[in-house]
Amino acid sequence: MRAVGIILAGGNSNRMGNLSSKRAIAAMPVAGSYRCIDFALSNMSNSHIQKVAVFTQYNSRSLNKHLNSSKWWDFGRKQGGLFVFTPTITPDNSFWYRGTADTMYQNLDFLKNSHEPYAVITSGDGVYKLDYNKVLEYHINKRADITVVSKLLKEGEDASRFGIINTDKDGRIIEFEEKPLMTSADTISIGIYVIRRRLLIELVEKSAEEDRYDFVKDILIRYKNLKRIYAYGMNTYWSSISTVDSYYKTNMDFLKKEVRDYFFKEYPDIYSKIDDLPPAKYNQGASVKNSIISSGCIVNGVIENSIVFKKVYIGNNSTIKNSIILNDVYIGDNTYIENCIVESGDTIRADTTYVGEPGNVEIVVEKNERYVL
């Protein structure tokens, strides 16, 4: 009740290759039964944030379909609820969202009409669990103006696609660089912010006046010496989906028991839309090792080290290895698929072979006709 939630789910990345031609990153299927945005939405719900706005712009059809009812995340309430805002034309604005700050500026009425004292801003492409109330408490204790959730990268992880931050002893951010070519530190911002709602309105309005549209560049970095901006360190699992590689790795992480147990066996739960699919079915000839299989699948072949999403049919004598098969794919008999990501709704013809390289997986998009009875 102390905060409104904002999920920035408008984005797309050309580094997602063909995968993002169909949907926004926030709607990317993750871990067999979920979509990326489920993590942010569940975190909001589990942090008792009851009023959440999702700002979306790029190819939001798939995302809107996923959000067609807010009940799965417990947002189907009289108080608050889930709001999806796409760009609209008004008498004084006919632009698309020109940046994250502009997104909020164009929806300023949502912020102005709320009465919660704080706002929690997050993106729709992170896979993580976080109690935003803890960040909020930290924010209040530090008497911060803005709190940025940060994470220490492990050695060898590439920091160049993130914002890099440096703090003083107290945790106050003294340096903030967006996607630098050379990195001097290994603490990154993971795109989760806590800010007083009135301050957010003020900063966003001021930026708009100056034709500045980006929350990180034009607010965080620009104001870092003027405002008290603090970093809240997060040390549990976090992964963001922005490249084919990170998408593949994040999914494969769920083959690890500790990752599955952390997300699915420990409190609190992650919620998602319910599809009412029957149990997965394994027929004679099925052989499955170290894989995640979702409901509605029918398996007649071999699956190893793979993530198979919902309602996938795998034909006789077919082999799937080290691959991700997205929702509702039909794979014919005698096919061989290794190191691939197969796009949802695909129909893979019998007797075909698709092989990608480890570390450079192939994205398979096959729009063949499917004959179903």
Partner 1 sequence: MIKKEMIAMLLAGGQGSRLGVLTSNVAKPAVAFGGKYRIIDFSLSNCINSGVDTVGVLTQYQPLRLNTHIGIGIPWDLDRNIGGVSILPPHEKTDRSEWYTGTANAVYQNMEYMEYYNPEYVLILGGDHIYKMDYETMLDYHKLHNADITLAAVPVPIEEASRFGIVITDEEKRITEFEEKPLRPRSNLASMGIYIFSWNILREALIILSGQKGCDFGKHVIPYCHKRGDRIFAYEYNGYWKDVGTLRAYWESNMELIDLIPVFNLYEEFWKIYTKSDTILPQYIGDTAVIDRTIIGEGAEIYGEVHNSVIGSGVYIGPGAVVRDSILMKDAVIGEGAVVGKAIVAEGVNIGAYAELGIGEEVPNEKDSNIYSFGLVTIAENSMIPPYVKIGKNTAVSGRTTVEDYWEGVLTSGGTLIKAGGKL
Q: Which is nearer to partner 1, 159 or 292 (CB)?
A: 292
Q: Is 210 in the site for partner 1 (CB under 8 A)?
A: no
Q: Which of 32, 124, 191, 315 binds partner 1 (CB under 8 A)?
A: 32
Between 85 and 263, CB nearer to partner 1: 263
Q: Which is nearer to partner 1, 282 or 336 (CB)?
A: 282
CA 173 to chain centre: 25
With respect to partner 1, which residue has the nearer C-beta, 147 or 323?
Answer: 323
Identify the burial level of 103 via C-beta atoms within 10 angstroms of its C-beta, where 0-12 means exposed, 13-18 middle and 19 or more buried: buried
Q: Which two tokens stand for residue 200?
A: 């957010």
d(CA 221, CA 215): 9
CA 111 to chain centre: 23
Applying CB under 8 A, among 98, 260, 349, 370 the residue interacting with partner 1 is 260
Residue 9 CB, shortest distance to partner 1, in Å, is 21
Smallest distance from partner 1 to CB 89, Å: 34
What are the backbone angles phi and psi of residue 204, rounded to the nearest 5°? -70, -40
Under rule CB under 8 A, residue 280 binds partner 1:
yes
Distance CA 87, CA 300 (A): 45
The residue among 151, 163, 336, 335 whose CA lies nearest residue 237 is 151
Query: Given candidates 4, 27, 31, 341, which one binds partner 1 under the rule CB under 8 A?
Result: 31
Instruction: Kindly tell me which of 33 and 339 has the beta carbon lying closer to partner 1.
Output: 33
**Residues from 129 through 148 that contact partner 1 (CB under 8 A):** none
Task: Assess 355 for contact with partner 1 (CB under 8 A).
Answer: no
- Rule CB under 8 A: which of 70-89 touch partner 1? 71
**Hey, how many other C-beta atoms are within 10 angstroms of the C-beta on 315?**
20
**Binding of residue 259 to partner 1 (CB under 8 A):** no
Q: Tokens representing 132?
A: 């935003």
Q: Which of 288, 302, 312, 314 binds partner 1 (CB under 8 A)?
A: 288
Interaction between residue 327 and partner 1 (CB under 8 A): no
Residue 274 within binding range of partner 1, rule CB under 8 A: yes
User: Could you tell me which residues come within 8 angstroms of residue 196 by beta carbon, excluding any fewer than 6 positions away?
Assistant: 117, 118, 119, 145
Task: Candidates 68, 134, 264, 351: give the one binding partner 1 (CB under 8 A).
Answer: 264
344 binds partner 1 (CB under 8 A): no
Joined together, the tokens standing for residue 345 give 């709704």
Which string of x and - marks every residue 219-258 that binds partner 1 (by CB under 8 A)?
------------------------------------x---
Which part of the chain contacts partner 1 (CB under 8 A), choosing from 144-152, 213-221, 296-304, 343-351? 296-304
Residue 295 near partner 1 by CB under 8 A: yes
Q: Please identify, among the stretches 130-138, 148-156, 234-242, 289-297, the one whose residues bind partner 1 according to the rule CB under 8 A.
A: 289-297
48 belongs to the binding site for partner 1 (CB under 8 A): no
Distance CA(343)–CA(77), nearest Å, equals 35
Cα–Cα distance between 311 and 44 in angstroms, integer?
Answer: 28
- 125 phi and psi angles, rounded to 5 deg: -115, 15
Q: Which is nearer to partner 1, 140 or 255 (CB)?
A: 255
**Would you count residue 262 as binding partner 1 (CB under 8 A)?**
no
Taking CB under 8 A as the rule, does residue 43 contact partner 1? no
> Does 302 interact with partner 1 (rule: CB under 8 A)?
no
Contact 149, 190 (CB under 8 A): yes
In Å, how far are 17, 44, 130, 141, 148 from 122, measured between CA atoms?
A: 24, 10, 11, 21, 10
Torsion over CA of 289, 294, 300 and 304, rounded to 10 degrees?
A: -20
246: tokens are: 């990170």
Radius of gyration for the alpha carbons in the chain, expressed in angstroms and rounded:
22
The residue ranges that bind partner 1 (CB under 8 A) are: 31-34, 71, 255, 260, 264, 271-272, 274, 276, 278-296, 298, 303, 307
